[in-house]
Amino acid sequence: MTYRTMSAIVQRQGLAGDPHRPQYHFLPPANWMNDPNGLLQWKGQYHLFYQYNPHGPFHAHIHWGHAVSADLVHWTDLPIALTPTAERADAHGCWSGSAIDNNGTPTLLYSGLHPQVVCMATSDDDLLTWHYYQGNPVIAGPPAELQTETGGHFRDPFVWKEGDYWYLLRTGTWPQSGINAPPKGQALSICERQVVWEESVEMFLLCLLSLQRAVVRLHAP
């Protein structure tokens, strides 16, 4: 049992008597969490990764927490999967992303910040420890055609595979006049081998157009 795992047990025990702490829904050992990232089934168990600040109950120092379950109800804490590290593309936080099984290699694709990029990490010990890819970032930002319009907001990769290709969607923004808040859209990246990605500007614009139509329908009398 690692020090971090033992620390998680001690933290949970210290909060066990809190009447306001949910007993059914998953919570971290303590402190801040937000969106779950990369639910992955591996060797008959479900692995949950989530945005986590181990240093306090506030949004900062974003890591990837990690827990495992056989039934999606009862969870066991595992060591933190991703930690922001100085001099790396994820130095300002390991933000949202996905977990995939890449031909037998557990792989995380996630957002780094300032600038917003896509990073990758892999595991070779059944998801207990994760190795930062030294070639990160695997995607260094939005396509050049969209850099100005998106304002650099280009994160949260969602990844899946169809046939021989991996597909990766990221959220972005596209300022529009006449709408109070800039709409969000998706940009599609496609690759034949996981580390080399080709951007699709057309798909980004198509998703934005579909979203704008949805907004118009939502506000129509």
Active-site annotation, residues = 35
Per-residue CA distances from 123 to 19, 79, 105, 111 (Å)? 37, 13, 7, 18
* Cβ neighbourhood burial of 85 (10 Å; 0-12, 13-18, 19+): exposed
| CA separation for the pair 103, 188 (Å, rounded) | 22
Strand order in the sheet with 32-42: 32-42, 45-53, 63-69, 75-82
Residue 2 has which token pair?
């690692």
Q: What are phi and psi of 11, to 5 degrees?
A: -65, -45
Q: Rounded to a whole number, what is the distance in angstroms from the first to the last CA of the chain?
A: 60
User: DSSP alpha helices (H): ranges in the chain?
Assistant: 3-15, 147-150, 201-219
